[in-house]
Amino acid sequence: MTDDIEGLVTSISMNQVLVAILEEHGKIVVPTLRFLDANVNNKELVIDYDEEGPSFTFSLRDIDAIGSDSD
């Protein structure tokens, strides 16, 4: 990943992520209990960049699982 892309990724805000996702997919329905029960304390947003796309991939990773991976 180039320095320019790394700088861009570190400057991305949650608002930008949400707006981009909604512009791409339109309306997203989240059940109330899923929203209220979302445990943000043990989740981390992962942003991957595909230079061939070019595109970004957003995903969640369990923070607790980071140190326990055996790969």
Model pLDDT for residues 6-30, shown as the tens digit of each residue: 888 888 898 999 999 999 999 999 9
| pLDDT grade for 64, boundaries at 50, 70 and 90 | confident
Give yes or no for residue 31 having a pLDDT over 90: yes
Report d(CA 1, CA 49) in Å as an integer: 8
Torsion of CA 59, 22, 15, 50, to 10 degrees: 40
Q: In angstroms, how far is CA 18 from the centroid of its own chain?
A: 9
